[in-house]
Amino acid sequence: MQRPSDAVLTDLMERVKTIAVVGIKAGEQDDAFRVPRYLQQQGYRILPVSPKLEQVLGERCVRSLAELAVAPDLVNLFRASPQIPAHADEILALPQRPVAVWMRLGIVHAEAGARLAATGITVVEDMCLMVEHARLFGRQPAHRADALPVRVYYDFASTLCYVAHRALARIAEPIAALGVELRWTPIDLTQLVAWQRAGEPIDELRRQNATRVAEELGVAVRVPRVWPEARALGAAALLAEPLGRGASWRERAFTAVFEEGRSAPDVDEVARLAAEVSLELTPAAIEDALAALERHTEAAREEGVTGVPTFMLGRWPFGGIQSDATMLHVLERFARKAREGSPA
């Protein structure tokens, strides 16, 4: 689905008064809390929808859209791609339909989006409502032309990379404000190191360590018991990036492995997953991209990468994922030193 123009988005945001947030959360670090809180601060009335909460942001929470006492002008979906069709059915069944449905960053569902749009509802996919509002109405610094690239090496098989994906999403705004651009680059960790192979049981100490890190960073995750076969997912990521769909694909692929338990998707299944986020990738193209994944892995080795996630701060690899405050401190120091012309 084509991205709406700035004029369309601006008009929409000026007309909307009430926003139903499906999947809202109460944690200060969750996007599903930070985004509606920001919107509430901008004067919108937030209508929280979640079966897990009784109240949030001073508003009573309901279990479903059908239970809302006020008809929402916009429905903001903080749900994974597989849940979107059911929510589309729920929206279309409302006696008074919203003027717009907005899917959070990384979420696309072509079929559900088309059904909603066919009824006259404006559908926005794979965009953050907070970021777009702030950009259009001047609430945050504009994108910098001198953004500093930081390559992030990752593997869809790695639990710590899933944790990094979730944790970094929470601080996307302050990272952008630093003028830092994260460039996610998939590699094959099993090619990089010899201690693990796809399908082999994951050492219990490694599982415990991953669980501990996830808990410390406030990320819920189901750690696999065997090392996932994720090379096809990484190959698809290399194809998605130049199409501008890297974020959408990372969200779908990480969700598939760590929330749905798909531990060994082949190229045909990966192609089907890609279609769910409007990526037209053939199994043959994914197969061909495996060679590029190997080249990226060798390039990472030459840069001194020994694990994932690894952040390349200039020439220096910074491995692992730390607290939000630590990551921002590390990136702020890198950005300041880089602009001063000093070593990181």
| Each residue's pLDDT tens digit, 298-340 | 999 999 999 999 999 999 999 999 999 999 999 999 999 998 8
**Could you tell me the pTM of the whole model?**
0.65
* DSSP 8-state code for residue 96: S
275 compared with 152, residue with greater pLDDT? 152
- pLDDT tier for residue 44 given thresholds of 50, 70 and 90: very high
Average pLDDT over residues 265-294: 91
d(CA 83, CA 85): 6
d(CA 228, CA 223): 10
Angle among Cα 285, 289, 294 to the nearest 5 degrees reads 165
- Mean of all residue pLDDT scores within the chain: 91
Angle among Cα 258, 3, 48 to the nearest 5 degrees reads 55
Return the pLDDT at 170: 85
Return the pLDDT at 343: 61
d(CA 180, CA 256): 28
Return the pLDDT at 1: 67
Task: Answer yes or no: are the C-beta atoms of 120 and 92 closer than 8 Å.
Answer: no
| Each residue's pLDDT tens digit, 128-140 | 898 888 878 865 4
Match 């007309």 to its residue by tokens: 15
**H-assigned helices in the chain:** 6-15, 31-41, 84-92, 110-117, 129-136, 159-170, 172-177, 189-192, 204-216, 231-240, 246-258, 267-276, 283-302, 324-340
Return the pLDDT at 296: 94
Burial of 299 (0-12, 13-18, 19+ CB in 10 A): middle
Which residue type is seen at 168? L
Domain with CATH 3.40.30.10 in the chain: 148-336
Span of 47-56, 113-122, 196-205, 287-296 with lowest mean pLDDT: 196-205
| Each residue's pLDDT tens digit, 148-203 | 999 999 999 999 999 999 999 888 878 888 889 999 999 999 999 977 778 899 98
Match 């010899």 to its residue by tokens: 194
Angle among Cα 98, 275, 261 to the nearest 5 degrees reads 95
Domain with CATH 3.40.50.720 in the chain: 6-136
CA dihedral in degrees (340, 341, 342, 344; nearest 10)? Answer: 90
CATH class label, 6-136:
alpha beta
d(CA 175, CA 45): 28
CATH of domain 148-336: 3.40.30.10
204 compared with 341, residue with greater pLDDT? 204
